[in-house]
Chain A
Amino acid sequence: MEEFLIMNTGVVPFLSLLIFVPLVGALVLLVSDSPIFAKLWSLFVTVATAIISLPLYFGFDLSTPLYQFAENHPWIPSLNINYTLGVDGISLLLVLMTTLIMPLCVLGSWRYIDKRVREFMICLLLMETSMIGVFVALDFVLFYVLWEAMLIPMYLMIAIWGGPRKTYASTKFFLYTLAGSVMLLVAIISLYLEVGTFSIPMMMGHGYSPLFQFWVFLAFFVAFAIKVPMFPFHTWLPAAHVEAPTAGSVILASVLLKMGTYGFLRFCLPITPEATLLFMPYVLWLSVVGILYGGFTALAQKDMKKLIAYSSVGHMGFVTLGIFVLNKDGIEGAILQMINHGITTGALFFCVGMIYERTHSRELADAAGLGRFMPWYVTFLAFFSLSSLAFPGTNSFVGEFLILVGGFTRSKVIAACAIPGAVLAAAYMLRMLQKVVWGGVHNPDQSGLLDLNLREIVTLAPLLVFVFWIGLSPEPFMNVMHSSVAHLLEQVQGASGSAMAMSKILIP
C-alpha cells in the first residue's frame, strides 16, 4: 500500500483537517440556534477550510503521479479496511474548487434562506465534509461511506428549503442516486472478493479477466453516469436544480456532478482498462448525444434554472467525451473543464438566485430588460454567460479546446459531431443574455429593482477572477495534472491490444 503514497510528513494532517473541520463546525452549530451566529460561524469555518486547503497546492510535488499528503491508519483491521487519504493531480483541483465554492455558498444563502438557518448551515458543512472526503479517500469503504453520506444533507436541502415541487424533486434525486450507489456497492464488493483489499490504488493494474472487467465497468458506469449525469440518466437533474435553493443548485452543479466524472477517471479507467477500451466508442457516442440533447433542450427552456441545468448536461457531455478519448489532451481538458464548469455554472446559478431573491421568479420573461436597472448584475452575468459558451479568453474555451483537440486526434467524425453542441451553447446562452439585458419591446417594469450589493459582488467576484485566470493563463492549473494524467494513460494503454482493436472497429 505504502508504495503508492507519499506520506504527509509535516505536523499538520491537512487532508484530515479538511474533512473534520467542517464536521466539527457543524457540531458546534448545535449549541446555539441564532441565525446570525449560524451564518457567521459557517462563513468562518468554510473560509478556514479554504485556507487550510491552500498548502495542498503550494506543497504539491508536480513531478510524481503518486498520492500526496497521504495518511493511512487502520480502521477495521478484520476486514482490511483502512482510513487512507491522499491527493494526486486528478483530485487536487477538485478539492480546491470545493473549498473555494463553499464560502461563496454561505454568502449566497445569506438572505435567501430565512427559515431554519442553523439547520441549513449544518447541511452545508456536512456536505463539505463528505464532498472533500470523496475526492481524497483512497479506501473504497471510506469512499463509499462518504459518497452515501453526501446524499442525506443534499436530500434535506432540496426537500426542506426547496421550491414548490420539492418533494418530487428530492425523492427523484434520492432514488436515482441511490440506484447508482447500489451498483457501485456491487462493484466494490466484487473487487474486494477478487483482490482481498479495499485499497483503491492496489486495485489498479491488477489484470482482471475481461469478463469480470466487463461487468465491473458496467456497474461503475451506471453509478457514475447517473451522477454526471449522462444522457439518458439525466432526468433527475433539471428537477433537482429547479427546486433546490441557490446554494443547493450551486453545490449540485459545481461539485456533485464532478463526482461522476471523477469516478470515471479514478476507477473505470485504471481498474478496468480493457473494458474501458471496449466501451470507449459507445461512451463517446453517448457523450455526443448528451451534448446535442442538452444543447437543444436548453434552447427551448423558459425557466432560467432549467436552461442552465440542461446546459450542464451538454457541458458534462464534453467532459465525458474528453475522458473517453483516452489521450493526454482530452483527459487534461476534461479535468480542466470539470473545474471550469464548477466555476461558471456555479456562478450562473448564483446569478439566477440573485434575480429570484428580487422578483421571486425564475422565468426568463419576468427577468427581461434588467440591463438598464442592474448594470453591475448584467456585467457579471455577461461574463459568466460568455464563459459558459466557451468564448475565447475565458476558462471554458481552454477546456473545450483541449477536449476537442483530443477528440479530433481520436476520431474526426465524433469530434465533428460534437461541434454543433458548441454552436448551441452560444445560441442558448446568448439568447438568455439578450433577454435579461435587453428583453424586447414590451418588458415588465423592472425599475424597482436594486443592483447588486457588496455581499453579492463579493460572492461573484472570486469566480470571475478564475474565469479569466484559467482562460488566459491556465498553466498553474495544468501543471498539477501532467504526471497523474500521464500515469493514468500508461495504466490504460497497458491493457491488451484486443480491446483496442475492437474499439477501433466501432469508431470511424
Chain B
Amino acid sequence: MEIISCKLLYALLAPLIGSLVVMRCGKHPDLREGVSFVAAVTMFGIVMSMVPDVLSGNRLVYTLFKILPGLTVTLRADGLSMIFAVVASSLWILAVFYSMGYMRGLKEHAQTRFNACFALALFGAIGVAFSDNLFTMYLFYEIVSICTYPLVAHHQDDESYRGARKYIVYLTTTAKGLLLPAMILIYVLTGTLDFATNISTGIFPPDVNATMVTILYICCLLGFAKSGIMPLHSWLPSAMVAPTPVSALLHAVAVVKVGVFSTTRVMLYVFGVDTMTAFNLGIPTAYFVSFTILTASIIALSKDNLKARLAYSTVSQLSYIILGVALLTPSGIEGGLIHIANHAFSKITLFFCAGAIYVATHKKNISEMGGLGKTMPFTFAAFGIASLSMIGAPPVAGFVTKWKLLMGSLDLPSPHYIFIILILLTSTLLNVGYFAPVTYKAFFGKRPVGEQYEGIREAPLAMVVPLMIAAMISVLIGIYPGFMMSFVKAVMG
C-alpha cells in the first residue's frame, strides 16, 4: 500500500537545515557540534519512525516537484531505502562525535566548512536512499559528488587538490557521460523514470530491444562510479588524502554506499530480476565484479599504509554487494543487500580505528604498529572485531553476508556455482591475508626498532567510544541479524 508521508521531507530537511545552521555557528565550536548532533539525532529519529510502516509492507511516498510528465522529484521509503537510511543516519551520530574528537585533536583548520559539508553529504545520501525515481536519484547522487569535494580537498595542499580533482573528475564524468544518456534513453523508451514497485518486473515494456537494454545496463553499471567498480575505482584510493572521518564517511557510509545502493536499486527496480534473467545480464555481471573482488584484495595485500589497505578492501567488499544482487537468486540478493549494512558498520569501525591510531601516534603505516596493541587495547580490539566481520567469521556481521552469498551461489546452474564459490573462498583467504596481520602484529608483534611508544595513550574518548560502539553493533547485527534482515525480507516481498 502506498502512503503519502511528509516524514520523508522532514528526514531530508534535518541535515539540510543542520548544515545551514552550522555555517552560521562558525564562531562557537561547541554550539556548532551541538547543532550537528541535533540534526543527526533528528534524522535518525525520523528514519526510525518510518520503520513500522515499511515493515508492515507499505511504501511511503512524497512528491516534492513535478518537472515534466514522468519526471518528478519524488521520495519513497521501502525496504531497500530503509536499509541504507537506517545505516547512514545511525552512523552519522557516531561520526559527529568521532570527527569532533579527531578534528579538535589535530587542531584542523576550517572545521565549520567541514561540518557543514559533512551534513550536506548526508543530505545527499539520505536523498539517494529515499529516491522514488531515477531522476531524483541522479539529482542527489550529483549533490553528494559536489558537496564532498570540499571534504576531500580539506587540507588544501597539492596532494589533496590532486586527489580531489581525480575524485570529482571520475564521479561527474561517469555520471554525466553514462548515466545521463542512459536516463534519457530510458525516458524515451518508457516515458517514465519511476522505479518499479517490486524487484521482478522492471519498467521496460516486454517488446523492448535486447541490445538496447544491454547497452543501458552497462551504462548504469559503470555510470555509478561511486560503487568503486574496477576499472573506475582509482578515485577511491586517491580520495584517501581527506581527513580520516571523511574517509570513514566516504568509504563506509555516504559516498560508496550511494554508489552501490544506486546500482542495486537500478538493477532490481529499473531492470528487474525477470528482465535481467531474460537478457542474461546477471552472470556476466557476477564475473565482472568478481574480478574487482579479487584484484582489489590482492592490491590491498601490498599496501603498508593502513588507510590505503582499507581503501582497497572497500573496493573489494563493495563488489560483494553487486555480486550478490547479480546472482539473481533469492539468497544471493539477500546477501548482497544485507552487506550494505554489515559492511558499513564494520568498515566505519576500521576507519575510526585508523584515525584514532593516527591522532594518538601520528602513524599511518602498518609496519610501524607492531606491539601497539598493548598501548591502545580498545582501539585494536575493535579493529580485530571489525576485521573478523570483513573476513566473514561468525559471530560478526560479515558472516551473515558470506553465508547468504554462498547459499545464493549454490542455487546457480552448473558450472557457474563452482566458480562463484571458488571466488568467494579465495577472496575470504585474501581477506584473512591482509587483515589478520594488522591485529596480530599489534598484540603479539615486536615493537619496531627505533619506535618509541612512551607517552602514547588511547585517542580521546570522543573517538574511542564511537569506534567501540560501531564494533559492538557489528557484533550485534551478526548475532541478531533479524532487524536488518526484516528490511531485506520487505524488499523480497
Contact = CB atoms under 8 A, between A and B. Distances in A.
B139 interface: yes
A404 interface: yes
Contact of B176 (A408, A412, A423, A438): A423
Given A423-B176, A430-B168, A475 B66 contact: yes
Given A405-B187, A408-B184, A472-B73, A420 B153 contact: no
A392 B142 contact: yes
A474 B188 contact: no
B172 A473 contact: no
Nearest to A470: B67
Interface in B54-78: 65-68, 71, 73
A358 to B, nearest CB: 23
Given A393-B73, A441-B158, A401 B184 contact: yes
B135 interface: yes
B184 A405 contact: yes
B380 interface: no
A409 B67 contact: no
23 contacts: A392-B138, A392-B139, A398-B67, A401-B68, A401-B71, A401-B184, A402-B68, A404-B184, A408-B185, A409-B188, A415-B181, A415-B184, A420-B177, A423-B176, A426-B172, A438-B156, A440-B158, A440-B161, A441-B161, A471-B67, A472-B65, A472-B73, A474-B67
A401 B180 CA distance: 9
Given A393-B73, A415-B184, A430-B172, 10 more contacts: A386-B146, A391-B142, A398-B67, A415-B181, A423-B177, A426-B172, A427-B169, A427-B173, A438-B156, A472-B73
Interface in B155-191: 156-158, 161, 165, 168-169, 172-173, 176-177, 180-181, 184-185, 187-188
A259 to B, nearest CB: 27
Interface in A450-498: 471-475, 478
B350 to A, nearest CB: 30
B146 to A, nearest CB: 7
Nearest to A473: B65
A351 to B, nearest CB: 18
A419 B177 contact: yes
Given A438-B156, A440-B161, A393 B139 contact: yes
A405 B65 contact: no
Contacts of A175: none
A438 B181 contact: no
Contacts of B177: 419-420, 422-423
Central interface residue in A393, A405, A427, A474, by most chain B CB within 10 Å:
A393
Contacts of B184: 401, 404-405, 408, 415
A416 interface: yes
B71 to A, nearest CB: 7
Interface residues of B, number: 30
Contact of A474 (B68, B156, B165): B68
Contacts of B187: 401, 405
Contact of B67 (A419, A426, A438, A472): A472
Contacts of B185: 408, 412
Question: Which 6 residue pairs across A and B have the least CB separation, nearest first?
Answer: A392-B139, A472-B65, A423-B177, A423-B176, A404-B184, A408-B188
Contact of B173 (A393, A426, A434, A474): A426
Interface in B90-149: 135, 138-139, 142, 146, 149
Contacts of A409: 188
Given A404-B184, A416-B181, A472-B65, A422 B142 contact: no
Contacts of A427: 169, 172-173
A475 B67 CA distance: 7
A439 B230 CA distance: 31
Interface string A396-429: 0010011011001100100110011011001100
A419 B173 CA distance: 11
Contacts of A473: 65-67
A136 B14 CA distance: 48
B295 to A, nearest CB: 27
Contacts of B66: 473, 475
A438 B153 contact: yes
A408 B181 CA distance: 9
Secondary structure type dominating chain A contacts: helix
Contacts of B65: 472-473
A438 B154 CA distance: 10
A401 B67 CA distance: 11
B154 to A, nearest CB: 11
Nearest to A437: B150
A457 to B, nearest CB: 17
B173 A423 contact: yes
Contacts of B157: 441
A419 B180 contact: yes
Nearest to B157: A441
A389 to B, nearest CB: 8
Contact of B188 (A391, A405, A438, A441): A405
Contact of B181 (A391, A393, A419, A430): A419
A77 to B, nearest CB: 47
Contacts of A423: 172-173, 176-177
A393 B135 CA distance: 10
A331 to B, nearest CB: 14
A156 to B, nearest CB: 41
A404 B71 CA distance: 14
Contacts of A392: 135, 138-139, 142
Contacts of B181: 404, 408, 415-416, 419
Interface string B180-208: 11001101100000000000000000000
A410 to B, nearest CB: 10
Contacts of A420: 177
A475 B69 CA distance: 10
B168 A422 contact: no
Contacts of B161: 438, 440-441
Contacts of A415: 181, 184
Contacts of A393: 73, 139
Nearest to A369: B156
B73 A422 contact: no
A423 B142 CA distance: 13
Contacts of A474: 67-68
A181 B10 CA distance: 57
A398 B165 CA distance: 27
Interface string A432-449: 001000101100000000
Interface in A278-333: none
Nearest to A372: B110
B266 to A, nearest CB: 16
Contacts of B165: 434
Contacts of B168: 430
Contact of A441 (B71, B139, B156): B156
Central interface residue in B67, B71, B138, B169, by most chain A CB within 10 Å:
B67
Nearest to A386: B146
A382 to B, nearest CB: 9
Interface in B387-420: none
Interface string B356-397: 000000000000000000000000000000000000000000
Contacts of A441: 156-158, 161
B180 A422 contact: yes
A255 to B, nearest CB: 26
Contacts of B146: 386, 391
Nearest to A472: B65
Interface string A210-248: 000000000000000000000000000000000000000
A457 B355 CA distance: 42
A171 B334 CA distance: 69
Central interface residue in A426, A430, A471, A475, by most chain B CB within 10 Å:
A426
Interface in A366-397: 386, 391-393
Nearest to A478: B68
Contacts of A475: 66
A422 B65 CA distance: 24
Nearest to B169: A427
